[in-house]
């Protein structure tokens, strides 16, 4: 018998609130569920990154940003549009990291 080396990419199905998408494990950070919440967070990154309802959220200097992917691009999200599940996160979770993710450019000041 002769063995051949194969290159394999692993894909998985992400299903949240009835919506599904296929994602490669190579492109996503490790996610952990927030206890008693529908929010997931990425504990291994040097910035606060969250996943909720097929959308990625990033908090920086007290402001929220959202993106279609874990690497952005990021769009400022006014406080009135921030999902309640994110507002309810413990302060130590959403404020503990202050780095910036890929493709991040601050687009609004705190006063806006």
pLDDT digit string, tens, across residues 21-65: 444 445 688 999 999 999 999 988 888 899 999 999 988 888 899
pLDDT over threshold 50, residue 109: no
pLDDT value at residue 22: 47
pLDDT value at residue 95: 73
Q: What are phi and psi of 24, to 5 degrees?
A: -85, 140
pTM confidence score = 0.67
For the chain, give every domain's residue range: 29-112
CA distance 21 to 70: 14
């Amino acid at each position: 018998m002769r063995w051949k080396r194969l290159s394999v990419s692993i894909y998985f199905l992400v299903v949240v609130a009835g919506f599904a998408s296929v994602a490669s494990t190579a492109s996503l950070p490790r996610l952990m569920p927030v206890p008693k919440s529908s929010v997931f967070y990425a504990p291994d990154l040097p910035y606060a990154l969250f996943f909720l309802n097929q959308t990625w959220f990033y908090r920086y200097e007290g402001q929220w940003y959202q993106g279609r992917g874990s690497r952005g691009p990021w769009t400022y999200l006014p406080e009135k549009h921030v999902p309640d599940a994110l507002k309810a996160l413990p302060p130590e979770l959403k404020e503990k990291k202050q780095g910036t993710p890929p493709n991040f450019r601050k687009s609004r000041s705190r006063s806006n």
